[in-house]
Amino acid sequence: MNYVWHNGSVYFHGMGSGKKEDLLSQNPPVCFTIYREQGTVTDPVPCHVDTSYMSVMIFGKAEKMSDREEAAEVLQKLVDKYMPKYYSNPLSSTFIERYKSSLDGNAVSVYRITPQGMIAKEN
C-alpha cells in the first residue's frame, strides 16, 4: 500500500470501493505497520543467523477524508514521494473531484490515521 507521513499522520489512498473500503467503514480502529529490512546478519552457526530490521507500529483510527483540498494536498505528497519531479503541475481539488477508478468508476478515497499510540523496534 502506498502511504505518506504528513503533518503527524499516515495517509493512504484507494479506489473508493472494495474490501478495504468496506472494512474501514465498519471497523475504523487500525494498526498500521511500516517495516524495513536491512539485511541478513550471518553467523557461523546456522540457527544464529538473524535479520536486521526496523519497524514502527501505529495505532489509531482510519478516517476517510472529506475535505477535497486536504485530499489533493495528500495525493500530491504521495506523487512527490513515489514519482518525484514526474509531473510539472500540482494536483488540484478539481482533479480530486473528477479522478475516478478505472475499475468501477468510483471516486478516489484518501484516509488519514492519526496516531493514538506508536511503538518502534529494531534488531
Q: In what order do the strands lie in the sheet with 50-64?
A: 3-6, 9-14, 109-122, 50-64, 29-41
For 10-39, write each residue's pLDDT tens digit: 999 887 777 888 888 888 899 999 988 888
Q: Is the pLDDT of residue 6 over 90?
A: yes
What is the residue whose three cell numbers read 514521494?
81
pTM over 0.85: no
Domains in the chain: ranges and CATH: 3-122 (2.30.110.10)
Confidence label for 101 from pLDDT (cuts 50, 70 and 90): low
Structure confidence by residue, pLDDT tens digits, 104-118: 556 788 999 999 999
